[in-house]
Amino acid sequence: MSSPRLEVDLRKIRHNTRTIVDSLKIRGICVTAVTKAACGHPAIARAMLDGGAAGLAEARLSNVKRLRQAGTTSPITLIRTPMLSQADDVVEVCDASYNTEISVISALAAAALRQKTVHDIVLMVEMGDRREGIMPQDLGDVARRVVDMPGVALKGIGANFACLSGIAPTAAKMQVLSALANDIEGQCGPFIETVSGGNSANLPWAFGACATGRINDLRIGEAILLGVDPVTGDQIGGMYRDAFTLVAEVIETDAKSVHPLVGNSDHTLAKIRLVPDISKITRIILAIGHQDTDAAGLSMPAGTTLIGATSDHLVIGTKNPTLRVGSEMRFNMNYSAVMRAMAAPDIQTNLRHDRGPPNAHDVDGPSKHLASV
């Protein structure tokens, strides 16, 4: 089997999706599954839908087109503000889009009129993360302009947390977002169908005891794919965190000191993280590097230590060598490592347990009880 490769267990992704969907359903919240880290891989998207996701969300139009070309007919929302230059394509392949700029919404409206359709608009509100969003005091004015614009329909509002500034969602912020939905309805008239409270970082709030208010949608990607709380990095109880495994091949193994034998003036080498001062280790080099994944996002197997990485080499050390040239090593991954590996052209994606029964509950997974552990 070729390497490097990603082994993706679709049964675990279905299980993680179903576990979150069932838990949030009790709270009146549906799940929009985010496929951007998987680069819109159709089989991974299908596993999320089989697990009960109400629809899909993507950040890149190329990934949406990949899904549509594979026959995906479920609702797809573009969650990054559309590029002005792509308005026609957005309307053609996306059911809805998240927006902050009235000029972009106007272009989407014009494209929808040309295509004799109506494109749904979700307005993003700035709630502290300082990435994208309309300031709350300006939301009413923008909403009124959208309502008066032929070709588009105001579907909802949303907010983002714990991405750029690391601002975590709180019950107070969710109450404000709910109040904004009520205010918009009072000012504009149309019912706000979707109030999207955020992403995987919202799960501790959503699983808590606080009232959910008007929040009825969360955009979940990382928690489904990796089974972790993105804010703390803790595993979510009842979830798999090893749906993705990176496999790389050993191309060199030798015993040598970890310290350089000669001086080096290259300041970039200062970033290499050396193992503690030990006299001899077995240094193993694998055929993978920064060009393929986020080396810092790989979990080292037991008994090994990361020495460093370059564009196409990963160097690790161990005192108990069991690997030889041609052997393979397996790594669990964080979100950044998965995202970069899925986009790397030289990494093959191998699927396990493909085409599971739609909406089937996994009977051999971990406990369905959800809690951070």
Q: What is the mean pLDDT of each run of 10 residues along the chain (373 residues)?
A: 94 98 97 98 98 98 98 97 97 98 98 98 91 94 97 97 79 95 93 95 92 97 95 90 97 70 47 50 93 96 92 90 88 96 96 65 40 35
Q: Environment class of residue 69 by beta-carbon count within 10 Å: exposed (0-12), middle (13-18) or buried (19+)?
A: exposed
- 3-state DSSP assignment of residue 71: coil
Residue 172 has which token pair? Answer: 């107070």
Same domain, 76 and 216: yes
Residue 306 lies in a domain: yes
CB contact at 8 A, 143 and 123: yes
Q: How many Cα atoms within 13 Å fall on the side-chain side of residue 1?
A: 13
Q: Is the peptide bond before 4 cis (omega within 30 degrees of 0)?
A: yes
Q: What is the pLDDT of residue 319?
A: 78
Same domain, 219 and 252: no
Same domain, 257 and 285: yes
> Which of the listed residues 176, 193, 226 is the one where a domain comes to its end?
226
Same domain, 222 and 248: no
Domain range holding 289? 244-333
Same domain, 103 and 136: yes
Same domain, 213 and 266: no
- 3-state DSSP assignment of residue 30: strand
- Phi, psi at 42, each rounded to 5°: -60, -40
Residue 160 lies in a domain: yes
Residue 119 has which token pair? Answer: 């494109």
Alpha helices in the chain (DSSP H): 10-25, 42-50, 61-69, 87-93, 102-114, 136-147, 171-188, 203-206, 222-226, 335-343
Q: Environment class of residue 137 by beta-carbon count within 10 Å: exposed (0-12), middle (13-18) or buried (19+)?
A: exposed
Residue 349 lies in a domain: no
Same domain, 248 and 208: no
Same domain, 50 and 116: yes
Residue 62 has which token pair? Answer: 């190329």
**CATH no. for residue 165?**
3.20.20.10
The size of the chain, in residues, is: 373
Residue 354 lies in a domain: no
CB contact at 8 A, 283 and 247: no
What span, in angstroms and rounded, lies between the C-alpha atoms of 285 and 147?
Answer: 59
All residues at 6 or more sequence positions from 322 whose CB lies less than 8 Å from its CB, including other chains = none
What span, in angstroms and rounded, lies between the C-alpha atoms of 281 and 259?
Answer: 11
> Which of the listed residues 197, 226, 255 is the one where a domain comes to its end?
226
What span, in angstroms and rounded, lies between the C-alpha atoms of 316 and 209?
Answer: 45
Q: What is the number of other CB atoms lying within 10 angstroms of the CB of residue 15? A: 29
Same domain, 168 and 58: yes
Same domain, 56 and 92: yes
User: How many folded domains does the chain comprise?
Assistant: 2
Q: What is the pLDDT of residue 129?
A: 77
Residue 98 lies in a domain: yes
Residue 54 lies in a domain: yes
Residue 312 has which token pair? Answer: 């196409």
Question: Shortest CA distance to 59 belongs to which of 26, 43, 83?
Answer: 83
> Which of the listed residues 173, 197, 226 is the one where a domain comes to its end?
226
In DSSP terms, 217 is beta-bridged to 30, 196
Q: Is the peptide bond before 82 cis (omega within 30 degrees of 0)?
A: no
Same domain, 193 and 255: no
Same domain, 206 and 80: yes
Alpha helices in 259-332 (DSSP H): none
Residue 231 lies in a domain: no
Residue 137 lies in a domain: yes
What span, in angstroms and rounded, lies between the C-alpha atoms of 96 and 57?
Answer: 9
- 3-state DSSP assignment of residue 115: coil
Q: What is the pLDDT of residue 163?
A: 78
Q: What angle do CA 161, 60, 37 make, to 5 degrees?
A: 60
The model's pTM is: 0.88
Q: What is the pLDDT of residue 364?
A: 40
Q: What is the pLDDT of residue 44?
A: 98
